Amino acid sequence: MELQELLYCQGFGTRRVCVGLVQKGLVRLPIDGVWQTCQDPWREIDVAPDKPFEVQGMSWIYRARAHLMLHKPAGTECSRKPSAWPSIYSLLPAPLRQRPQKSAVDGVQAVGRLDQDTTGLLLLSDDGQFIHRMASPRHHVPKRYQVHTVDALTPYQTDQLMAGVVLDDDPLPVRAAACETLGSHHLALTLTEGKYHQVKRMLAAVGNRVARLHRSAIGGLQLPSDLLPGQWRWLSACDLLQVGYST
């Protein structure tokens, strides 16, 4: 693959911009074991996950598809055009926001959405198959939430969440896949669907309200304790298997 093509497919700008980055001496490669500036945009490059390169001093590794996790902080919107709060996409470096796609939207996309006041694990990708696999209700990917409630929880409320509650826009009852009381105002709730404001509406349907909501896991993938709010990282092959996906 030509160096300018490598930069383009990884989201470093238009082809003209990528050629300019190389010609300005802003790209370095490990050549014969030594990091060297390369100013030939058409140099053939061996692309592989273990072949790093540097652009403007930042180290990158080639990835055919981007699969990320983000610890979504409160006060952010899962939208490219937020209405009142900063966008989660502002937390990502420009190349991840600009990776070219055949669809109308370039860059990685959030797999589902979390409300602006909801925190926790959010997946992002430019892999359409992965997005569909994670988001489609047909696949029943479990998502675990830590729910802190305004009022004390009762056995009746937790029983109803497991038995099923009817939301105002759907005549069919919605059930929790698992429900564990962790404290008088703390519930671990696992869902396999992704309806609008689902957790908040389910709690309202049993006569309670959500005070704080945090997504702690998707499938078998736990939000890492060392991934702080606003931080992101690449999903490893093991992480992908934890959510039931293999490349």
The residues annotated with a catalytic role in the active site are 115
187 neighbors 179 (Cβ within 8 angstroms): yes
Q: Is 194 helix (H, G, I), strand (E, B) or coil?
A: coil
> Which one, of 87, 93, 131, 91, lies nearest residue 109 by Cα?
131
Q: Is 204 helix (H, G, I), strand (E, B) or coil?
A: helix
141 neighbors 244 (Cβ within 8 angstroms): yes
Q: Which two tokens stand for residue 235?
A: 């999903």
194 neighbors 118 (Cβ within 8 angstroms): no
200 neighbors 191 (Cβ within 8 angstroms): no
Q: How far apart are the first and last CA of the chain?
A: 21
124 neighbors 109 (Cβ within 8 angstroms): yes
